[in-house]
Structure 1
Amino acid sequence: MTQLKIIVEKMSDWAGFYPSADVVLASDYLADVNSPERCRVINLCRQYDYLSTGYYCSLLAEARGQQVLPSVKTVRDLSRRQWLGVLALNPSTDKHLTELAGSASEFSLVICFGQCAHEALADLARGLFEQIAMPVMRAQFVKKGTWRLQSLESVAIPQLNEDDQTLFANALDGYSRLIWRKPRGRKQYKYDLAILLDPEEKFPPSNSVAIKRFIKAAAKHGILAEPIGRKDFSRLVEYDALFIRTTTSVNHYTYRFARRAQAEGLVVMDDPDSILRCTNKVYLTQLLSTHKLPMPPTRILTKADLGKEQALIDELGLPVVLKIPDGSFSVGVKKANTLEELKTTMREMFQGSALLLAQGFLYTEFDWRIGVLNGQPLYACRYYMAKNHWQIYNHSAKGSASGGFDAMATFEVPKPVLKAAVNACKLIGDGFYGVDVKQDGKNVYIIEVNDNPSVESAVEDKYLGLELYEAIMGEFKRRLDAMG
C-alpha cells in the first residue's frame, strides 16, 4: 500500500480528530529529504499563498514525485480565480439554493473533499471539487435574479465550526480510507487499482464475471483491485492505477476520470489520448488515411453534402453505410440501400452531428477483432453477423441481438490481419485496444480501433481463459514497477 501523509501546520489543528500516525507537521515534512516517493499527501496547511508554507508543501510533494492534494496548479487556479465561469447553475440547483437561503440573498457552502452538508447540493459540491480539487473550501453564492457563484476560497481546519468538523472528518474518511481503518487482512498488496464501472450500462465492455476475474488476476500480481463508479471521482488519488471498464467518450465522465488519473500520476488504461483518438470515427478515419493504412472507401461528410447524394453513390456505390462520429456497439450506424434512403438518412443523422462518415458497404460473414496490448497481439475473435442482419449487433424495436463468435490463438489469424491491427495501434498509443478488421480474400480493411475493447467471460477469454486477465494485470504491474 502506498503511504499516506496528512500535513498540518500545528498539531493543535488536528486536536479535534482521532490521533493518527499519518499526521505530520509541515515543518517536519519540508525537512524530510528522504520522504518516500510512493506517497500520497493531503496538504491541510492554513494557507496556500505563493511562497507560503502550504505552497511549498505542495511544491515539494510534486518535486518528490508524490501525489498531493491540492496540487500547485490547483492552488494557482484558485488564487487566479480560474473557477469563474466553470460552473453553470441549473434550475434545480437554483431552486435548492433559494430554499436553503430563505429570504437571504447570500448563501455560504462549506465543501470538504467534494462533499457538503446539504444532500440537495451534493452534485454542486462534487462538481466544484472536480474543477478545483481543494481539500476544504467555501463557496459563496449571491442571488441577483438567479444564483451565481461569487467566490471560492480555501478554508483552514481551525476555521471550521463543530458541524463542519464532523463533515470534514466523515469526508476525509471516505476520501482516503487508509487513515483510521485497520488493514484489510494479513496479506499486503503493493499497489491499488481502481476499475471504473457503470452498473447501469446496457452494453458494458466487461460482464460481472470478467470483472471478478480481473480482480483475481490483479491479486496474483500484488495489486488490490476494486470497482469504483462515476461518483468516486474525488477518490482517484487513493489509487496507483485506473482501469476503465465502461464505454468511453470525450464528452463523458470517463474522459474526465482518465485525464485526472493521468494528471495524478496513475497508470491509466484507457489513457485520455487513446480515448480522444479512438472514440471519434472522423479523427480515426483521417489518421488511418494520412498513414495510408487499409480501410473501406470512406468519405467525411458535412451538411454541404446534402443534395449531393447521387455523387456520393457514384463514388462509393450502393449500399452506403453512414456513421455518427462517436457511436459504439453498432449504435449510430445505418445503411442506405437506395438514393431516397440515403437522402432521408443523411438529413436525419445530420440533426445530431455536424459531420458524418460514409463508407462503401463491404459484406463479410464475420469481422475480426484483434486485441492488442502494448503493441503486441493478445487475443483474437471472429464476430459473426447477427441473424438476418448486416451487423454484429442488431438494435431493433424488439431489443438487441448479436451474432456468434469464435475465439482463437493469434497464431491462427492470417498475418495481414494481425499486421493491419498492430500498425493501426501504433498510431494510437501503447495501451489496450481492440481492432476490428474485415477480410475480403487477400485484402484486409481496418474498420475501427476501440480504446476500450470488450473482455467478457466465455467470449474473448474462450481461448486464453484466465491467462487473458493475468496478461492485462501483468502489464499494469510492469508499468507500476517501472514508475518506481
Structure 2
Amino acid sequence: MSWVILTGRQSDLDQVATPHKIITNRDYLAHPALFSGQRPKVINLSNSYGYQSRGYYASLLASSRGHRVIPTVETMIDLSERKLYENALPELELALNKSRKDLGGKFPEKATFFFGIGPSKAWDRFAKLLFDWFRAPALEVSIKDHHEWATIHKIGFLPLARMSAEEKPRFLASLATYTNREWRDGKARVPARYTFATLVDPHEQLPPSSISSLRYWAKIAEKMGVEVEPITRKDLAKLANYDALFIRETTSISNHTYRFARRAQQEGMPVIDDPLSMIRCTNKVYLNELMTFNKVPVPPTVMIASPADFQLAADTLGFPLVLKIPDSSFSRGVKKATNFEELKALATAWMEESDLLIAQKYMPTQYDWRIGVLGGQPLFAVHYLMAKKHWQIVNHDGGGKPVEGGIKTFTLKDAPAHVVETAVRAARCIGDGLYGVDLKETKDGVFVIEVNDNPNLDHGIEDSGEKDEVWTRLTQWFLDRLER
C-alpha cells in the first residue's frame, strides 16, 4: 500500500521527514494520471481546507480518482461551522471530562491531536473518539474549563504552518505510527490494488479464524493484488483508510464488532459480517421465524415468553428438550432440560436476562453438518463432531477451557446434495455474505439448527475439502463488490 502526502507548499514538509511520497496539492490537481492504476492512501496536509480552495479540491478529486483520503470533503464541511458538528459535542465532552483526573484536575485552553493521538496518554480516550468523529491529520480543540465540567468551544484544523516547534516532532511521530502497517511482505508478487482490514482479538479464546489462518489468506490475497492487514477494536478511527473489512471476532450487536460493521457500511466498504446479517443471525427467535416463513426445515420449536409457556413446551416437545437464549453462540446459552423441574429452573433464571427464550425438540446426532455459504453459493462442507461424552460440539460445562469435538472434512461434491441445498436456501434468507449453516441429518430429514454470520474458517480445517479455492473465492467476493 502506498501513501501520498499533499502539502500546500513544497517547503511545508521536508522530504526526509517521512519515507512516503510528498507532493504539493497543485501538482496533485494538475496531473490526474500521476497515480494511474494505483490506489494510494492520501493524507491532505494543505494549509487551507476552505470551500473551493486547493485543499478542498484535492480531497474532492481524490475521491473521484478512487484514492482514499483524509480529511474528506465531508469532514471539511462538518468542521467549517460549529452548528454542523454540535451533534458530536455531547459524546466528546463526556469523554473529555472522564480524562480530568488523569490530567491532574484541569484542562488547558487548547490541545492538539494528530491522527487520533493526543499530547499524552491521559488524552487517549478523547483523542481516539475525536478521530472517530473527524478523521483529520491535525486538529486543535479549544476548551473552556468550568472546573466541574469542561466544554468544547471549538474544533478546527491545525495546518503545518501553524504548528509550534514542539508540535512538529510529535506530528511526525504520529504520522509514522498512523502509516505503519503489519503483515507486509516487502516483495509482493502483484502491486496491491486494495487493502483489506481484518478485525481480530489476539486474546479471544475461540476466535472464528486463527491468526495463522489469516496469514495464510494474506498470502493468497497478495497474489490477487490485495494486502490483508490486522486491526483491533482500538482502530475504529482508522477503518476508513481501508477498502474492505473482514470481521474475525465473535460478533455481537452489543459490542464493538457491530460498530465496526456499521462504520464500514457507512463508508461504502464491502464488509463481512454486514450489520443486517449480524442482527438476523445473532437472534435465534428471528432465525426460527424467518426459516419457518421461507419453508426451510427447522426442529419443532416453542417460543417461551412467560412461565405460562413452560407447560406448552413440555407438552409439545417432550423431554429432554433444548433451551436456548436468543443471542447465544459457540454452544453457550444452550442447555438441555431432562424434566419439567430443570426446564422451570433454567428458564426462570434466563428470563431475568431475556424476555424470550426458545425451546426446541432434542435431536441427538453424532455430528452437525456445517455448510459454508458465500454470496449465495456453497463454499465448504464439514462435520463438527460432538465433544467427548457430550451432546454439543463444544462442552462449556467442564469448568475450565472449552472442549471441542473433532472435525471430519468433505469436498462439496461428496457432501449430500440435499444437505447442501437446504443450507444454501437458509443462507439466502439472510443475505449475500459469508454464513455457516448448521444442520442435523436425521431419519426424519434434514433440519437447520442455526445460521452463523461469522463462521469458523481455518486453514487445514474448513478449507480441507476445497483447498485454496475457499480463500480465493473469499477474496474475489470483496473484489467483485469493489470493482462494481
| Separation (CA, whole Å) in 2 of partners of 1:438 and 1:323 | 17
Partner of 2:253: 250
Partner of 1:83: 88
Partner of 2:5: 6
Tell me the CA shift for residue 281 of structure 1.
2.7
| Separation (CA, whole Å) in 1 of partners of 2:18 and 2:332 | 54
Closer/same/farther in 2, CA of residues 19 and 454 from structure 1, 3 Å limit? closer
1:343-358 paired onto structure 2 within 5 Å: 343-358=344-359
Partner of 2:315: 314
Partner of 1:391: 392
Tell me the CA shift for residue 13 of structure 1.
3.5
Match of 2:160 among 151, 154, 157: 157
Give, as a single letter, the amino acid of the residue that structure 2 aligns with 1:252. Answer: N
| Separation (CA, whole Å) in 2 of partners of 1:4 and 1:361 | 56
Q: Bigger CA drift: 239-248 or 446-455?
A: 239-248
Give, as a single letter, the amino acid of the residue that structure 1 aligns with 2:451. Answer: V
Partner of 1:365: 366
1:326-337 paired onto structure 2 within 5 Å: 326-337=327-338
SS in 2 for 1:251: coil
Contact 1:175 1:234 in 2 (8 A): no
Tell me the CA shift for residue 161 of structure 1.
1.6
- Answer yes or no: is 1:172 the counterpart of 2:175: yes
SS in 2 for 1:425: helix
Partner of 1:38: 39
Closer/same/farther in 2, CA of residues 168 and 326 from structure 1, 3 Å limit? farther
Tell me the CA shift for residue 96 of structure 1.
4.3
| Separation (CA, whole Å) in 1 of partners of 2:92 and 2:356 | 28
Closer/same/farther in 2, CA of residues 259 and 170 from structure 1, 3 Å limit? farther
Contact 1:213 1:466 in 2 (8 A): no
Give, as a single letter, the amino acid of the residue that structure 1 aligns with 2:456. Answer: S
Match of 1:120 among 119, 122, 134: 122
Partner of 1:448: 450
Closer/same/farther in 2, CA of residues 405 and 184 from structure 1, 3 Å limit? closer
Tell me the CA shift for residue 118 of structure 1.
0.9
Q: Bigger CA drift: 308-317 or 158-167?
A: 308-317
| Separation (CA, whole Å) in 2 of partners of 1:87 and 1:445 | 49
Give, as a single letter, the amino acid of the residue that structure 2 aligns with 1:128. Answer: L
Closer/same/farther in 2, CA of residues 65 and 467 from structure 1, 3 Å limit? closer
- Answer yes or no: is 1:24 the counterpart of 2:15: no
Contact 1:190 1:222 in 2 (8 A): yes
Contact 1:67 1:264 in 2 (8 A): no
Partner of 1:434: 436
Contact 1:38 1:65 in 2 (8 A): yes
Superposition TM-score, scaled by structure 1 size: 0.86
1:38-437 paired onto structure 2 within 5 Å: 38-78=39-79, 79=81, 80-81=84-85, 82-87=87-92, 89=94, 94=97, 96-102=99-105, 104=106, 106=108, 108-141=110-143, 142-147=145-150, 149-177=152-180, 184-185=186-187, 187-191=189-193, 192-302=195-305, 305-396=306-397, 397-437=399-439
Percent identity reads 40
Tell me the CA shift for residue 329 of structure 1.
0.6
SS in 2 for 1:347: helix
Contact 1:17 1:169 in 2 (8 A): no
SS in 2 for 1:198: coil
| Separation (CA, whole Å) in 1 of partners of 2:317 and 2:93 | 45
Tell me the CA shift for residue 258 of structure 1.
3.0
Q: What is the Cα-based RMSD across aligned positions, in Å?
A: 3.1
Structure 2 unaligned segments of length 5 or more: list them. none
SS in 2 for 1:152: strand
Contact 2:103 2:122 in 1 (8 A): no
Closer/same/farther in 2, CA of residues 187 and 312 from structure 1, 3 Å limit? closer
Tell me the CA shift for residue 377 of structure 1.
1.2
| Separation (CA, whole Å) in 2 of partners of 1:51 and 1:439 | 64
Closer/same/farther in 2, CA of residues 21 and 208 from structure 1, 3 Å limit? closer
Q: Bigger CA drift: 337-346 or 183-192?
A: 183-192
Tell me the CA shift for residue 73 of structure 1.
3.4
Contact 1:101 1:107 in 2 (8 A): no
SS in 2 for 1:399: coil
Contact 1:83 1:132 in 2 (8 A): no
Tell me the CA shift for residue 407 of structure 1.
0.6
Tell me the CA shift for residue 107 of structure 1.
5.1
Closer/same/farther in 2, CA of residues 360 and 139 from structure 1, 3 Å limit? farther
Tell me the CA shift for residue 330 of structure 1.
0.8
| Separation (CA, whole Å) in 1 of partners of 2:188 and 2:452 | 39
SS in 1 for 2:205: coil
| Separation (CA, whole Å) in 2 of partners of 1:343 and 1:438 | 26
| Separation (CA, whole Å) in 2 of partners of 1:384 and 1:19 | 53
Closer/same/farther in 2, CA of residues 75 and 310 from structure 1, 3 Å limit? farther
Contact 2:251 2:257 in 1 (8 A): yes
Contact 2:197 2:246 in 1 (8 A): yes
Give, as a single letter, the amino acid of the residue that structure 2 aligns with 1:83. Answer: A
| Separation (CA, whole Å) in 2 of partners of 1:204 and 1:393 | 13
Tell me the CA shift for residue 170 of structure 1.
1.6
Give, as a single letter, the amino acid of the residue that structure 2 aligns with 1:419. Answer: E
| Separation (CA, whole Å) in 1 of partners of 2:158 and 2:108 | 18
Contact 1:89 1:148 in 2 (8 A): no
Match of 1:468 among 467, 470, 477: 470
Contact 2:25 2:46 in 1 (8 A): yes
Higher RCO structure (Cα 8 Å, ≥6 apart): 1
Give, as a single letter, the amino acid of the residue that structure 2 aligns with 1:14. Answer: L
**Number of aligned residue pairs:** 473
